[in-house]
Copies of this chain bind each other. A is one copy, B any other.
Amino acid sequence: MAGNIFGNIFRVATFGESHGAAIGCVIEGVPPNIILSEKDIQADLDRRKPGQSEVTTPRQEGDVVEILSGVFEGRTTGTPLALLIRNKDQHSADYNDIKDVFRPGHADYTYTRKYGIRDHRGGGRSSGRETAARVAAGAVARKVLAFEGIRIVAYTLAVGDVRAEEIDLDAIDQNIMRAPDLLKAQAMIALVQEAKQQGDSLGGIVEAVVLGCPAGLGDPVFDKLEAKIAHAVMSIGAVRGIEFGAGFAAAKMRGSENNDIPVVENDKVKNRHNYAGGIVGGIANGDTIRFRVAVKPTSSIAKQQLAIATDLSSRHIEISGRHDPCICPRIVPVVEAMTAIVLADAYLIQKTIH
């Protein structure tokens, strides 16, 4: 209701501000008897954390997770998992300058209008830092899905004008952009570094695929699988759009083309072009689920900008602090996490039917 709890059966409640004591989450609905340790979660957190490379922020947050409950002798017990990540390396003083200013592109103004109070340090609850709790929850969701052979992979498809031409999933972890095309990754890196030097930032497109999703997951009408994934992924701070399968290109197609051609392989129905993106009528059809996400350029930039102060006067500001020139590589694990949470939930819901 108030925005911090997500999911139906696999249900995640997150908390925490950028410069508060800690961030974390409580997850209920995790099936019992799953082998789980802090290492499983830490691996995903490390992919999201700042300070990984020259294309991300140099902040060193650490992001060490502690499991507070729900695991006994290395296995989940069916009771809620609480995951805690203490905040560290906070330069709260960096934010004193912006106490009385609404930063361009940030939620400073809207939080003030909504709540009548704002924790200005690092954006408070609106900081991208809250996504660490999502990634932690997503790591647990992935464990549930892995057991069913469902795998989720996201990658940086494009940055600015540079777009991957090849989709090689093995390439993703071999370059700091998390692009599926090693050659184009180099061009992306060059572009990001150029923007960084100019005190600017860049947007991009992240694509995700879900492999091994059984037909039948997802629900009719309001909780179509693409609707729930859209909800989950559009709730990530910098995301401005999402499209499934052919997406916006379908708007220019004819029905005879977009309907695709079904092919039976090993008693499974596949589709020649997979224009539907693996979901028809809101329900997975057994094909690869595929969607793309528009990521806006990071709002925090060093360049001087015109802003509005809390008294609504105009003011020029330069954002100090350490920020990501392009958030795509770090959004990749967040997109995977949110997708995993939706699919784990859909998987558990489907168990109630059969």
Interface residue from B26, B264, B299 paired with A13 (Cβ < 8 Å): B26
Contact indicator B248/A241 (Cβ below 8 Å)? yes
One digit per residue, 1 when the CB lies within 8 angstroms of any chain B CB and 0 when it does not, for chain A 96-138 equals: 0000001011110111011111110000111000100000000
Contact of A301 with B259 at beta-carbon distance under 8 Å, contacts A234-B230, A253-B296, A296-B250 already known: yes
Contact indicator B298/A110 (Cβ below 8 Å)? no
A60 interface residue per 8 A CB criterion: no
Residues of B within 8 A of A195 (CB): 254-255
Contact indicator B32/A82 (Cβ below 8 Å)? no
Residues of B within 8 A of A227 (CB): 230-232, 234-235
A204 interface residue per 8 A CB criterion: yes
Chain A interface size, under 10 / 10 to 19 / 20 to 34 / 35 or more: 35 or more
Interface residue from B248, B286, B350 paired with A248 (Cβ < 8 Å): B248
Interface residue from B15, B161, B246, B251 paired with A26 (Cβ < 8 Å): B15
In the complex, given contacts A102-B262, A230-B234, what are 10 additional A-B residue pairs having Cβ atoms less than 8 angstroms apart?
A4-B28, A5-B222, A20-B69, A20-B70, A24-B82, A105-B276, A195-B255, A203-B253, A242-B242, A264-B312
Interface, chain A (partner B; CB < 8 A):
1-6, 8-9, 11, 13-17, 20-26, 28-29, 31-33, 66-70, 72, 75, 77-82, 84, 102, 104-107, 109-111, 113-119, 124-126, 130, 158, 160-161, 195, 200-205, 215-224, 226-228, 230-232, 234-235, 237, 240-262, 264, 267, 269, 276-277, 279-286, 294-301, 303, 305-308, 312, 314, 348-354
The 4 closest A-B pairs by CB, nearest first: A107-B281, A241-B243, A3-B219, A201-B255
